[in-house]
Structure 1
Amino acid sequence: MNKTLKLIIFLTGTTLPLACQNNSSLLTAENETLLIAAKGEIVNINLETNTIKWQYKSKNDTIINYSVFTVDDKTIYAPFSSGKITALDLNSGKQVWEGAINNSDMEIQENTQNNPYITTTPLIYENNLYLNTSSLDRSKSTAYCFDKFSGKKKWQTETDIYERQCINLINDYLFLGFSKYTLEGKAESIFKNPKEQEELDPQLWTQRIHIQIQADKNNLYAANKDFGRIFCLTFDNDTYLEKHTLKESPFINNPEIFKWIFYDYEFNSATDLLSSEDMLFAALEDQYYRTCIFAIDKKSGKTVWKRLLGTNNTPKENDPNTSNFFMNKVKTWSLINNQLTVCDQNYIYQIDLDGKLINQVLIQGEKHNPLSNIEMDHNNNFYFITIDGVTKYNAKSENFEIILKKNFYRMPFTRINDFQIKYLPKK
C-alpha cells in the first residue's frame, strides 16, 4: 500500500483549522494582500489588481493537501508535510532560508511523499520559531526550535502528544498539551512539587486531546470531545497547582486541580475552541448533531451567552431524524475584528462578542462552499478557497466571484485537506 493511501485511510475524519496562539491581526503588507497555502504552494495575491504577485512551490509536497504557515512583520514561515521548512519574504517571495525537520529529509526525491509529517502552525516568540510535528503513524511526536533569522535548528525534543497540537506559551514556558517545557526544550513538571507528577500515571489525561488546546497569560483550556466537558487549568502564580495532591487519581477525574469545569447537559459533545481576551468560545453539539456556540467567562467558567446555528434544523419531538447530520456542523470559524465568523454547510454567520447575529450569508451552492478558513477585509468582504479557486464574497453586491481560478481538489473525508489563507491590509 503506498504511503499516500495509508495517510488517507489513517486520517479519515473531518477537521477544523487549528486555532493557534500567534496574533497577526496587526500585520500589514506593501499592498492589500491575500496569502494562500495549498498542496505545497504559497501564493501571494495582490488584491488591488487581483493578480498573483509571487508564488512558491515545494517540489516535495505536491500530493498532500496539507499546508500551514505563520507570518511576522516581514516573513512567512511555512513547514511542509515532507519535513521541509522555509522562510519567504512577505512582499517579494524571495527565499530567506530553507531547512528541514531532520537533515535526512533534505534528500527526499522530487515529487514524493517520503515519510510525511503532520505539522502544526509554528509559534513565533522573540527570535525563535517553535514547531510540533507528528509522524505518519503517530508513533512519535517531536517539538523543534529554529532560529527565525537563519533557520538553524537549535534543539529538538521528543514529546508525548500524538495529535495535532500547536505549541502554547505561558509565562515564558512552552506547553504542548499539558506537558511543560523550558524555552530550551527541557521538560519540567507542571506542579511546584515535581514529586506529585512522579506519583501519577504517565498519561495525565485519560483520553486523547483531539481539539486544539487554547491558552492565555495564565491558563490552559482543554475540551473533552466525547463528553463535552471543558477544563481550565490555571498557572497563576498564587495558585500554581501547589495545594493539590493528585496521588494516583487520573488527571481528568480529579476536579480539584482545575480552576473550573464547564458542562452543558443538552449540548454535550465538543468540536472546537476559540479564545478571546475575556471569553472562551466553544462549539458543542447535541444528540441530533445540531451545533450551538457558547461564550464562556474565563474567570468563572459560566455561560455568558449561547447561540444555536441554523434556522430550519430543529428536530421535531416525535421525529428526531429530521436533523441533518451535516447541516449545522461548524466547518470553520475564527475571530475577526472582534466578531465570530462561523461557517456551516449552508451559511456564513457573523456574530458579535455579545452574541448578537450581525449578518448571515447564504452559501450559493456547493461550488461556493469554503474549503479553507475565511478571511475578511476592511470592507467586510469575505475570502476563502473553494473547489474552483479563490473566492470573494462581495458584501456590497452580495455576490460570489472567483478572483483566482485554480482547481483545489479536496480528498473526501480526510484530515489532510487543510488549505490556509491570510488577509493583510496595506501599510
Structure 2
Amino acid sequence: MFLNIWISYTVNIWSFNNFQDREKSSEVSEISYGGAVPRPPEDDPNKDGEGFKIDLNLHFSRKQRSAKEISPNNELAYYSKDKLSGTHMDRKNNSNLLHKLNPLTDKHRGKKKAFVVSKPEIEKKDETGVRETELSDIFISVKTTSKYHQSRVSILLKTWYRLAKEQIYFFTDANDQEFKDVLGDHLVNTNCSSDHRRHSLSCKMAVEFDYYMASRKRWFCHVDDDVYLNVPRLLEVLRGYSHKEDWYLGKPSLKYPLEVVDRENAGMKLTFWFATGGAGFCISRSLALKMGPYAGGGRFVTTAEKVRLPDDCTVGYIIEYLLKNRLTVIEEFHSHLETLWLIRPHQLKKQITVSYSEYSSKPNVINVQGFNSTQDPTRFLSLHCFLFPNFSECRALL
C-alpha cells in the first residue's frame, strides 16, 4: 500500500512539473475583446460603442481566420538588448514604461505575470497553426510636437485613439500635464528638439523604435499626428502578413526611388524606396530585429546623420539598401501629399490612413458628409462618425 501511495505521489509531482514546463514554453497571450474594436471602459459614462456592431464589409468576427497567412519561419538576426541612450530620451521618466512594455512582467518590477493557457478550441489560428494577429499585437506610435498638442492631438483623442487606447503611444518633445493626465505613460517626452529638422525627427524615431522593441509586439506601425488611422482596417490588412517574415508595408510619396549621394564612395549614388511617414507604415517583428544594429539603442540617429536623411527616408535606407529587403506598397495608406478629395466616399471604409493639408487656399481633405467645415475642418470627426456612427460625438448627426 505504501508503495502505491509513493508511486502515485511521484507521478502527480512529475505531471505538475511537466505541465508547468509546457505552460512556460507556450506563447504568452492576452485575451482581448475581439481584436478590432476594444470594449468601452467601464468608467466611461457614455459607454461609447457599447453594443454596437460594425458592418463595414470588413467581415470581422471572433471566428475569422486569415486567408493569406503564411510560410516557414525566418531565421532571425541577433538583436542586442542595449539600454536606451540618455541622449535621446529621459531614462528616468520613461524607464518605468519600458518595463511595463515587457509582457513578461507586470507593474511591480521583477514580478512575473501569470501565463494564460488558451483553450485550443477557441484560440484563433491560421492554416500554419500560428495564432491569429490581434489588436494587442500591434504597437502604434504617433509622432507629434508640443506645438500641435491642441490643434492635432486633441482631434485624435476624440476619434480613432478611442479604438486602440492600449496600443497607441504619442511621442512628443515637451511635458504637457493636461495630456499627461489623459494619456499617462502613453505620452512619451523624448526630450528631442521641437523643430522639424532632420536630427530632431530622427531623434524621435529612435525613441519610437526602442519603445517598440521593448514591447515585444508583432508589428510596429508609425503615423504622424495629422493622420486618421482606421484601426479595424489596419488589423485586417496585417492579418494577411506574417510577423515572422520580413515585411515593410507602406506607400511612397514619390513615383521613383530616392537617389542620394554615397558619402563613402565618391561619385556613387544610393537608390532605394521608402514609405512616407506622413501616410504611415508598418514593420514586422522579424524585420525590426534585423534593423537592430542600425536602429536600436539610439543608433537610428547615427545612421540618419551618416546619410543625412530625415526619419522616414532613413527607415527606407536601412531596410532597402542595407538589409536588401523591399517596400511592399499598400495603396490604402494616404498622406497629405496626395489629392485626398479624389477618394470616393464609398471607398473610405477600405482605407487604412488618410490625412489633410492646411497649406493651400483650398483645403486638401477627404470628401465625406457630416459636420460642417467650421466644426470639423480636418474631416476626421466626420469620417469617424461615418465609420463608427454609434460613438457619442456622432449623435448630433443622427
What TM-score range do you get, normalising by the shorter chain?
A: under 0.3
Structure number with the bigger relative contact order (C-alpha 8 A, sep ≥ 6) is 2
TM-score when normalising by structure 2: 0.23
Q: Which has the higher strand share?
A: 1
Q: Which has the larger radius of gyration?
A: 2
Q: Which has the higher helix share?
A: 2
